[in-house]
Structures are given as C-alpha cells and as structure tokens.
Chain A
Amino acid sequence: DTEVTQTPKHLVMGMTNKKSLKCEQHMGHRAMYWYKQKAKKPPELMFVYSYEKLSINESVPSRFSPECPNSSLLNLHLHALQPEDSALYLCASSQEWTNTGELFFGEGSRLTVL
C-alpha cells in the first residue's frame, strides 16, 4: 500500500464553522506533512510531524490546528477560517523526516471558505 488517503476531497465551510481534514497512510512512514496550495502556485509547507511530534510550524495562524493521534493519522482542525484560506490542502508522508525529498502526497482536500 503506497497511498496517502485524504478526506474529504471537497469541503465548503462558513467562517464560523469548525471542520477537520483527515489524512491516513499505512506505509509505516514516521514523518507527515501538511501543505497548502493556492491555484497555479507551488505547495507551501504548513506543518511537519516527526514521530508524532510537531517539528515544524511555519508560522501558521492558530485557526489551523494540527493533530497527530498516531503514526498513521494526521488531522488538520479548522476554525474561524477566512475566505483567503480557500485552497487545496495536501497531506504528505515520508519514511523519516530527512532531506531526501521523497514525499508521498495524497490527492488533497479542496477547501472553500464562504
């Protein structure tokens, strides 16, 4: 199994809603990542988890709250988002948090904030 599975694929939410994005991998990878991608732009790193501990937070606003319940799961909790947060949110994993760059990406969750 070489997949990273993200749910939901599409999400529409209002600015007062609370929702969560979920990511799962069963490759035994110990590093997991959240990226944000705006249209026609490259992905931007948001968070890195290594061995279930938050290792990088790229100064992401607190309305985005990551959680890593176990080595296979990664969540992104969303609250009080702004319309400019609308984007494709990509989850990725790698065997270790190294610089080899070999990331496995999910297909993303497309978020629209009204």
Chain B
Amino acid sequence: AQSVTQLDSHVSVSEGTPVLLRCNYSSSYSPSLFWYVQHPNKGLQLLLKYTSAATLVKGINGFEAEFKKSETSFHLTKPSAHMSDAAEYFCVVSDRTGRRALTFGSGTRLQVQP
C-alpha cells in the first residue's frame, strides 16, 4: 500500500522569500513521486517528477524537489516566491505496480504576500 502526507495544509510566505512545501510518502516498492500545482478554478499541472534517476529534480517555474529515501521525503522548494506561485500544491506517489493508480496528498495551499 502507498500513502502520501503533506505536512502543512497552508503555507504563507512573502514575495521574494524561499518556499518549502513538505511531503512524506510511504510505499511498499520503489516509488515514483510527483508534484502538481492547481491554480484557482484550473486543472492540475505537473511541476516535476522523480522516477529513480537523479535525486534532485528540477521542475518548471524554478521549483525543485529532493528525493530522500532515508527520510521518505520529497519536499518542494523554490528560492524566491512570486505572486503567481499562489496556488494549491499536491504531492503524488505511484508505486509502479499493481493498479497503476496515483495516490494524492491532501494538498498545501501556498499564499504569497506582497
């Protein structure tokens, strides 16, 4: 069985300051991990993915995430927040076996203050 926990339901930062959105996962097998972003009244967009290559993954819009197997974490970071980053972020895990279904975290709402 697989699961994913997003440790913060809401994060607020000031524009220009770093962003950290935390995600821990549980998987019986070597997982694939993803971050998706959802802007208000929009669909989801893939930010980045980890599929067992480099542990530091770079995504779109300056975001990156590091896969840490020992900590079962896949935290999302960005050095400098922009107003346009305000959105809902979902951490997603796939265990690459069985039903090939994705498991979504509960989401983290990022607020960016001017």
User: Chain A interface (Cβ within 8 Å of chain B)?
Assistant: 4, 40-43, 45, 48, 56, 90, 92, 97-108, 110
User: Quick one: closest A residue to B101, CB to CB?
Assistant: A45
Q: Please, how many angstroms separate the alpha-carbon atoms of A105 and B39 in the complex?
A: 12
Is the CB–CB distance between B96 and A4 below 8 Å? Answer: no
With contact pairs A103-B44, A105-B45 given, residues A42 and B107 touching in the complex (Cβ less than 8 Å): yes
Is the CB–CB distance between A42 and B105 below 8 Å? Answer: yes
Contact with A along B92-106 (1 / 0, CB 8 A): 101111011110111
Is the CB–CB distance between B101 and A56 below 8 Å? Answer: yes
Looking at chain B's contact residues, the main secondary structure is: loop
Min distance, Cβ B18 to any Cβ of chain A, angstroms = 25
Q: Does B32 lie at the interface of the complex (its beta carbon under 8 Å from any beta carbon of A)?
A: yes
Q: Does B113 lie at the interface of the complex (its beta carbon under 8 Å from any beta carbon of A)?
A: no
Q: Does B14 lie at the interface of the complex (its beta carbon under 8 Å from any beta carbon of A)?
A: no
Q: Would you give 26 A-B contacts (Cβ < 8 Å), ordered by A?
A: A40-B107, A42-B90, A42-B105, A43-B104, A56-B99, A56-B101, A92-B44, A98-B100, A99-B94, A99-B97, A100-B32, A100-B49, A100-B51, A101-B32, A101-B46, A102-B46, A103-B44, A103-B46, A103-B102, A104-B46, A105-B43, A105-B44, A106-B43, A108-B41, A108-B42, A110-B41
Number of residues in B with C-beta < 8 Å to the partner? 24
Q: Which of B43, B51, B106 has the most CB of A within 10 A?
A: B43
Q: Please, how many angstroms separate the alpha-carbon atoms of A100 and B34 in the complex?
A: 9
Min distance, Cβ B114 to any Cβ of chain A, angstroms = 24
Is the CB–CB distance between B94 and A101 below 8 Å? Answer: yes
10 further interface pairs, Cβ-Cβ under 8 Å (given A99-B95, A102-B46): A42-B104, A92-B43, A92-B44, A99-B102, A101-B94, A101-B102, A105-B44, A105-B45, A108-B41, A108-B43
User: Quick one: closest A residue to B96, CB to CB?
Assistant: A99
Is the CB–CB distance between A102 and B49 below 8 Å? Answer: yes
User: Quick one: closest B residue to A50, CB to CB?
Assistant: B100
Q: Sort A-B residue pairs by CB-CB distance and give the 10 closest, nearest first.
A: A105-B43, A42-B104, A99-B94, A105-B44, A99-B100, A99-B96, A101-B34, A107-B43, A101-B94, A106-B43
